[in-house]
Each structure stands twice: as structure tokens, then as C-alpha cells.
Amino acid sequence: MSSTAVQTEDSEASNSTTVQFAIQQQHLKAFVSNARTLVDEARIRVTEEGLTLRAVDPANVGMIDERLLKEAFKSYHPGNGEAILGVDLERVADVLGMGGATDIVSVELDAETRKPHFNVDGLEYTLALIDPDSIRQEPDLPDLDLPAIFDVPGSEIIRAVKAADMVADHIRFHYDEDAGEAVIEADGDTDSVEVVVNPDRGLEVIESGEADSLFSVDYAKDISKAFTSSSTVCVELGGEFPVKFHFEYADGLGSVTNLLAPRVSSS
């Protein structure tokens, strides 16, 4: 196991060029916050194209695949070779919380100590990293061909999940091909809730196919924390298959795909 908190694809080149980038606080904070909905630690890859992160939660129920393109940065120098940083996401979030949304956050990876230096609105902070080998390896993305694909306002999912959390432990996502509408519902021991999303409420159908799956409310609630009321979420749904939630941020230069494994119904 490597003892360093940073790995590189090209170890010889990694010492010659320092990783440096600067970006608005709100964009880097969103990158970190999106991942924190599922995991506490992650391997962040610094590539020629931008930052990427892929992780699965300890229970293998939720997965995130995220990227923040270099065009979102004020300046971006990834160094030579691909760097992999083992990061405690909560500690990074605390550091970023020292600045305002539009403040510029500068990050420089020290070539000798292999620790990143943060400058957030005049605050200098040196962060200890985690050995990437001690963090779970990135999972492979499953190849899913899901029959129903539709866009819905993030506000509709947030509202439905919040309501479902009041009555049950599980939430059902259903696409009714005949009616041309998405239904999000939950049935508890005594109460039930249903939210119908049709074109009048912002539904845009991309692929129409009958689909119905049951999921954990707790995981749906965690994932929906990354949605905003103004965001558009693309949902890919099947029959007792994982659901995909895809959305963008940072003016379209950041993107997230969340996968949530279903709870197979006994009925």
C-alpha cells in the first residue's frame, strides 16, 4: 500500500509541475457537497479535462459519478500526469465554508509535502490528505438500458421525497406510459402520499416506456439534497432496476449522475 496521500499516473513527471487551480467557492463547494450526500471520503482525480469523482456508499445502495470541467475554473493547471487525491470531504467543506459564494478559492498542491494549500478569502489553510489506497476504489458504472427517460423540475422531486419521508420508509417512482406522466408515491401503515408530474408541472419526456421501481426514502432524501428548486433532473427509470438521476450545476460545466439501487417489492 502506498504511504503517500497523492497518487499520479506519471510519477516522474509529477514532481516537475505543481497542481494549481482557482475557482469560485460556490462551484467547488457544490462539487464536494454533491459527493457528501453519499460518502465521507473520496478519491478526487485531477485530470487534463477537470476534476472527477466516482464513489459508492458503504452499503452499495447509492453511487455518484461527478465531474467539474476545467472551463468552470478561473485558472487550471493539472500538472503532468493524473493526480489522485484522497480527501476527507467534510474537512474540505469546512474550509470552503470560510468563504462566500463568489469568492475565489485557490488551491495549490505542495510538491514536497504533497498537501494542498487553500486560500479562501485571505484565509490560508493546509489540509492533510488521506492515502488513496485506504479509500474504496471507484466502482464501474453499470450498463443500463432503461425504458423511461424524462426531465422533471428538481422542486418536484424534493417535494415528493419530503412528503414520502413523513409516511413511509420507501418511495415508488412510476412512469405511466399511457397517461404520459410520472408518479412518485409512498404508502405507510396508515397514511399515503402521491405526487403526479405531467407536462403542466414541467415533465419533459425523452423516452417513453412503462417503468416502476421502489427505493429507500432515506437514500432518495440524501441524493435529493443536491438538487435545487431551479434545477432540472433527468430521471432514467426501469422495472426494479437502479434509477439514474442526472443534473448539472456551475452553469452546465459541472454534472452529476446518481444511481440508486431498488428495493425489490415482495408483491
Q: What is the pLDDT of residue 14?
A: 38
Residues of the chain above pLDDT 90, percent: 86
Domain boundaries, the chain: 6-134, 148-260
CB atoms inside a 10 Å sphere around CB 190: 6
Per CATH, 6-134 and 148-260 having the same topology is answered no
- In the chain, what is the greatest distance between 2 CA atoms, to the nearest angstrom? 65
Q: What is the pLDDT of residue 10?
A: 45
3-state secondary structure of 49: coil
Q: What is the pLDDT of residue 16?
A: 42
Confidence check: pLDDT of 242 > 70: yes
Residues of the chain above pLDDT 70, percent: 92
Q: How far is CA 244 from the centre of its chain?
A: 11
More confident residue, 240 or 3: 240
Q: Which residue has the cell 470541467?
A: 69
Q: What is the pLDDT of residue 190?
A: 95
Structure confidence by residue, pLDDT tens digits, 2-25: 334 555 544 433 344 589 999 999
Give the list of residues 6+ apart from residue 211 with CB closer than 8 angstroms, or none: 146, 147, 148, 173, 174, 175, 237, 238, 239
Structure confidence by residue, pLDDT tens digits, 249-267: 999 999 999 999 998 655 4
Q: Please state, in angstroms and rounded to a whole number, the distance separating the CA atoms of residues 204 and 151.
A: 5
Residue 103, φ and ψ in degrees, nearest 5: -65, 150
Q: What is the pLDDT of residue 264?
A: 67
Q: Please state, in angstroms and rounded to a whole number, the distance separating the CA atoms of residues 254 and 258.
A: 13
Q: Please state, in angstroms and rounded to a whole number, the distance separating the CA atoms of residues 136 and 245.
A: 22
Contact 213, 177 (CB under 8 A): no
Q: How far is CA 1 from CA 25, 44, 133, 141, 250, in A?
A: 33, 18, 6, 25, 36
Q: What is the pLDDT of residue 81?
A: 74
Sheet holding 116-120, edge to edge: 75-77, 20-24, 104-109, 116-120, 123-126
Mean of the pLDDT values across residues 163-180? 97
Structure confidence by residue, pLDDT tens digits, 60-98: 999 999 999 999 999 999 988 789 999 999 999 999 999
Structure confidence by residue, pLDDT tens digits, 19-68: 999 999 999 999 999 999 999 999 999 999 999 999 999 999 999 999 99
Q: In angstroms, what is the C-alpha Rg of the chain?
A: 20
> Cα angle at 52 between 50 and 56, to 5 degrees?
175
The CATH class given to the 6-134 domain equals alpha beta
For the whole prediction, is pTM greater than 0.85? Answer: yes
Q: How far is CA 72 from CA 24, 26, 106, 234, in A?
A: 8, 11, 13, 22
Mean of the pLDDT values across residues 175-200? 97
Q: What is the pLDDT of residue 7?
A: 55
Q: Please state, in angstroms and rounded to a whole number, the distance separating the CA atoms of residues 225 and 185.
A: 18
Q: What is the pLDDT of residue 263?
A: 87
Mean of the pLDDT values across residues 95-124? 92
Return the CATH fold of 148-260.
Proliferating Cell Nuclear Antigen (3.70.10)
